[in-house]
Structure 1
Amino acid sequence: MSVSVSRKKSRTTKRVKPNDFGSFHSFLAKFIIFLLVFIYIWSSTSTIFSGNMVHVCVSSRKLNNQYCLSAGTRPDFPIPIPHINDTSTFVAEEREHGVNVKDTIDFAGNFDNKSLNNTSEVAFREVEKLIQTQRSWVVPKHSNHTTTCEGKGIYVYDLPSKFNKDLLSQCNEMIPWHNFCKYLSNGAMGELIQKLGSRWYNTHQYSLEVIFHSRILKHPCRVYNQNEAKLFYVPYYGGLDILRWHFKDNVSNDVKDSLGLDLIRWLESQSPWYKNLGKDHVFVLGKISWDFRRYDKSSWGTRLLELDEMYNPIKLLIERQPWHVNDIGIPHPTYFHPQTDADIVTWQLKIMKSNRKSLVSFAGAARPDSSESIRSLLIEQCSSGGKFLNCSTGQCHEPDTVIELFLESEFCLQPPGDSPTRKSVFDSLISGCIPVFFDPFTAYYQYPWHLPEDREKYSVFIDKEEVRNKSTNVVERLMKISAKERENMRRYIVYELLPGLVYGDLNSKFEKFQDAFSLTINNLLERVNRLNEL
């Protein structure tokens, strides 16, 4: 849906007349029920029914009094933020995309289970519709992506250093007890992991902004004349901008938002910004979408993606907001950064020859403070029929330990952590370990350009409610999948998906394959060309 950057500014306030109250009442009722469902689906919630009343108590670590820096992979960094007790703080833009919730709710909050289920179905249908729209921008596989850059010019803004380079210089202050600077070496790929080989680096999951910037500067279609460009890349390190305030006390929201607002003002001084109302501009943000969508009563993150001016641009994130069509999920950076086709082929062969000694494994930690988390149940089941790597003891801090576990496992459990997505999903996939998902938002509604619509080709899905109510034993369920089925899934992962899930190093050159960066750029250009045809 095309919406101008000034869409909200152009709206006028309309007084509700007495005879309009019925329609207004109906609209507000629909809006309230969608907000409740949105929280129910997306967050870990405690839902209590008493009579015909429902009370939704949000207990998501992303919105509650605990938030983990790593969004699911580093559970040792708790960050206190205010508790959210009501739904009034949530800002819903779903109606901008044509969401039409047919169920109604009165102002007292009365509705029944059937109403909730029906509304959930509507919400999921909207998510499916938006993800299909994003899939429609994928360049067909048979396209020759290396022939020419004609009509594919990419312009990289030379931003003032405060928006990127200066943030890198603050790396030693971002995490007081941890040297974050070491992750920014080698073009943000991190330090070399000698035990795994020459193309393996200790890459932090929040380094994507720097990696992407370094790669795009060397893209063959880069142009230096704005008039020759089809795509405009804005190298703002918004994730690092957020990260530098995480552990500082008494920092106001105005201060946290200041750099993002400065960036908008700077872009508004550039003529390309207005040409297509920002639709041909792209941002790469190396944290989850929610970190850029701060709620009114929270002190967590910034409001960058809630700004009117940020509606039209394309935002590439490691976790997208599923009801925003211009939020597009792209893979978390893994530890593997090949340079040539041969590097990829060598690794593929090693994966296929790997001895899978364990049926199932889980690298993670329990969430004892979250009553909705299924991790403790999975750990209990896994310990009786698989292998558990306890991240709460620091074992997951060593990449070679994690990769070796995944290399010897048939299936890797991927339950939601502090948010639905996990870097571990991509670490397991590039190790040939079949991911087992418990929430569709962990992958299925996140990565339309890098993971296929046919989810059964590369993953297993077990509804988290089946685990919570103990109607399904995960290990027993996985044992029923035949060796032939596992082999077919693994071959598909290794030969079809893996090349497009890894980010090549800064000097990478591929002839046969497209890596995650190349796939993203090609689909971005396709998206922009589609807009220009309208």
Structure 2
Amino acid sequence: MLLSKKQPSAAATQWIEKVKYHKNRDSYFKFLGNPHFRYTAFLLVFLSLWFLLQVFWFPPTKPTQTKFSTTTPKPSAGKCNGDVAVYVYNLPAEFNLGLLDDCSHLNVYTNMCPHVANHGLGQPLDNMDLQSSDSNPWFATHQFIAEMIFHARVDNHPCRTWDPSKANLFYVPFYGGLHVSSNFREPNHAIRDALAVRLVDFLQAQPTWRKNNGKDHFLALGRTSWDFMRTNSGPDFGANCLLNLPCVKNMSVLTVERNPWKGSNQHGIPYPSYFHPSTSDQMMTWQNMMRQSNRPYLFSFIGAPRKGVGKAAIRDEMIKQCMESTQCKILKCDHGNPKCYNPSEILKVMRESRFCLQAPGDSFTRRSTFDAILSGCIPVFFSRHTAYTQYSWFLPEEASKYSVYMDEQSEESKRIEEVLMKIPKEEVDTMRATVIDMIPRLTYAHPNASHSDLGFEDAVDVALQALAQHVRDKV
């Protein structure tokens, strides 16, 4: 853009002409008698006039500076827009932090001590991208640890209030997922349910609860809803009865997988992946890397075969088709393949693929869906309950803009490569761009991130805003 040069005022023009006049007379003084005296006298007069004109003729002005931005403007994520005011209960330690004292027994299958470190982010990962950043955004995050990360983020959130009279949301930071996973093998149902029952008793005794009978209260759980919905007549999978308690049914429950049929008060939140940025620069750098990533494979599958007729069928079909195709990259996770526990290996496969097959896991959803989106890989779903009925707050309403769907019982699922090959390149590029744009809102930012530096809305921001609107409609 060309900037026009400001023209001098009439007064300024006159002054310029005066200066020219006196400069032209300098040579004349040299020929007068005692030229040094005359020159000195003239100089003193000249400086005096110049000083007086500067003070009285030209008014003082403030300097202006035009700034040109070469980067995308950062949204103001450091301030609360007024729609959310969340009060965090200070629960007795037995409901959350006290559980961590026995972290080695929080899961019947694995030692959770390394995973509960760093507010639930787990251990820092080396040999990942963006290592030159001021802070390392990569962690070996456990897939069932969202409740701890959520708690840490809300504790440091700009929309948090310490005054319950000003709150429109009341967060109950119960580590229910960690507790239930430590009691899967407990045969006595009363013992398995005891902590959940004590939580309900505590809440019902609070004045803040009685105001709206808990309708403005919410939980965030890191495991699927099925782990908290045991009934006396149904099968026992080691679950407790938390979500079936009448008190909890009044609340909103955030969970990594909701019950599509009996979960009207349940809302899906993303599984945590490995990336937890502290700044918008880290996020934008990663997104740009995913846009430029070379993807030599048409599709990929990461996973192990499953037992059981329903689960085994579609997975066996995927593994078979992928192994027979030269355009598919497979990472089989049976027999304890160590690559399947290495985040860099997992993300490498997805970053090299245009489409990532997302078969249901032990339940409908799987953490791999969010690993794929983080890698800019377009997810291919075979059950609507893997994403579409789960994460309505986070995903575009029109599923075809960011994903491909093949019903696991359809003929399409038997010829995956053929179906994917028919999608025009321009459409694939548009879908991938949408997927990469989705990364921030499906990511859990580092809990210690400065709100002025974060510059984007993460999964917790999205959940709080949607939850506030949901409560306003309900209360």
Smaller-chain TM-score range? 0.7 to 0.9
Q: Structure 1 pair 339/471, CA: closer, same or farther in 2 (3 Å)?
A: closer
User: Deviation digits for residues 43-71 of structure 1, max 9, x if unmatched?
Assistant: xxxxxxxxxxxxxxxxxxxxxxxxxxxxx
Counterpart position of 2:191: 255
Q: Shift in Å at residue 175 of structure 1?
A: 3.8
Report the residue type matching 2:315 in the other structure. Answer: R
Cα distance in structure 1, aligned partners of 2:430 and 2:81: 37
Q: Shift in Å at residue 303 of structure 1?
A: 0.7
Unaligned 5+ segments in structure 2 are 1-74
Q: Structure 1 pair 194/372, CA: closer, same or farther in 2 (3 Å)?
A: closer
Cα distance in structure 2, aligned partners of 1:432 and 1:184: 28
Cα distance in structure 1, aligned partners of 2:407 and 2:147: 33
Equivalent residues of 1:199, 1:339 under 8 A apart: yes
- Tell me if 1:310 matches 2:248: yes
Counterpart position of 2:115: 183
Q: Shift in Å at residue 485 of structure 1?
A: 1.4
Counterpart position of 1:387: 329
Q: Structure 1 pair 435/267, CA: closer, same or farther in 2 (3 Å)?
A: same
Instruction: Find the partner of 1:288 among 224, 228, 252.
Output: 224
Q: Shift in Å at residue 144 of structure 1?
A: 7.5
User: Deviation digits for residues 269-327 of structure 1, max 9, x if unmatched?
Assistant: 10111211211001001110111101325332101111111112110000011132210
- Tell me if 1:433 matches 2:351: no
Report the residue type matching 1:351 in the other structure. Answer: M
For residue 328 of structure 1, give the secondary structure of its aligned residue in structure 2.
strand
Instruction: Find the partner of 2:153 among 215, 225, 237.
Output: 215
Report the residue type matching 2:466 in the other structure. Answer: N
Equivalent residues of 1:407, 1:432 under 8 A apart: yes
Cα distance in structure 2, aligned partners of 1:471 and 1:164: 43
User: Deviation digits for residues 418-477 of structure 1, max 9, x if unmatched?
Assistant: 11101000000110011000000000000011001100010000110025xx77401111
Equivalent residues of 2:78, 2:455 under 8 A apart: no
Unaligned 5+ segments in structure 1 are 1-142
Q: Shift in Å at residue 521 of structure 1?
A: 1.2
Counterpart position of 1:363: 302
Q: Shift in Å at residue 151 of structure 1?
A: 6.2
User: Deviation digits for residues 360-385 of structure 1, max 9, x if unmatched?
Assistant: 11000111443553100110001122
The number of aligned residues is 385
Q: Structure 1 pair 400/147, CA: closer, same or farther in 2 (3 Å)?
A: closer
Instruction: Find the partner of 1:340 among 255, 262, 279.
Output: 279
Q: Structure 1 pair 380/148, CA: closer, same or farther in 2 (3 Å)?
A: closer
User: Deviation digits for residues 466-499 of structure 1, max 9, x if unmatched?
Assistant: 25xx77401111111122211111011112x111
What RMSD, in angstroms, separates the aligned Cα atoms of the two structures? 1.8
Matches within 5 A, 1:61-210: 148=80, 150=82, 152-175=84-107, 178-196=110-128, 197=131, 198-210=136-148
Report the residue type matching 1:500 in the other structure. Answer: R
- Tell me if 1:245 matches 2:189: no
Counterpart position of 1:104: none
For residue 423 of structure 2, give the secondary structure of its aligned residue in structure 1.
coil
Report the residue type matching 2:162 in the other structure. Answer: Y
Counterpart position of 1:117: none
Counterpart position of 1:475: 417
Cα distance in structure 1, aligned partners of 2:79 and 2:308: 54
Equivalent residues of 1:500, 1:516 under 8 A apart: yes
Counterpart position of 1:327: 266
User: Deviation digits for residues 153-208 of structure 1, max 9, x if unmatched?
Assistant: 21110100000012112220234563221011111101111121421110001111
Counterpart position of 2:446: 505
Q: Structure 1 pair 391/216, CA: closer, same or farther in 2 (3 Å)?
A: same
Counterpart position of 1:73: none
Counterpart position of 1:443: 387
Q: Shift in Å at residue 149 of structure 1?
A: 5.4
Q: Structure 1 pair 462/500, CA: closer, same or farther in 2 (3 Å)?
A: same
Equivalent residues of 1:174, 1:244 under 8 A apart: yes
Q: Shift in Å at residue 511 of structure 1?
A: 5.5
Cα distance in structure 2, aligned partners of 1:219 and 1:477: 44
Cα distance in structure 2, aligned partners of 1:162 and 1:235: 11
Counterpart position of 1:91: none
Equivalent residues of 1:149, 1:220 under 8 A apart: no
Counterpart position of 2:402: 458
Equivalent residues of 2:377, 2:432 under 8 A apart: yes
Counterpart position of 2:363: 419
Cα distance in structure 2, aligned partners of 1:365 and 1:528: 40
Equivalent residues of 1:363, 1:390 under 8 A apart: yes
Higher gyration radius (CA): 2
For residue 416 of structure 1, give the secondary structure of its aligned residue in structure 2.
coil
Counterpart position of 1:401: 345
Cα distance in structure 2, aligned partners of 1:325 and 1:488: 33
Q: Shift in Å at residue 150 of structure 1?
A: 4.2
User: Deviation digits for residues 23-60 of structure 1, max 9, x if unmatched?
Assistant: xxxxxxxxxxxxxxxxxxxxxxxxxxxxxxxxxxxxxx
For residue 395 of structure 2, give the secondary structure of its aligned residue in structure 1.
coil
Q: Structure 1 pair 487/254, CA: closer, same or farther in 2 (3 Å)?
A: same
Counterpart position of 1:527: 470
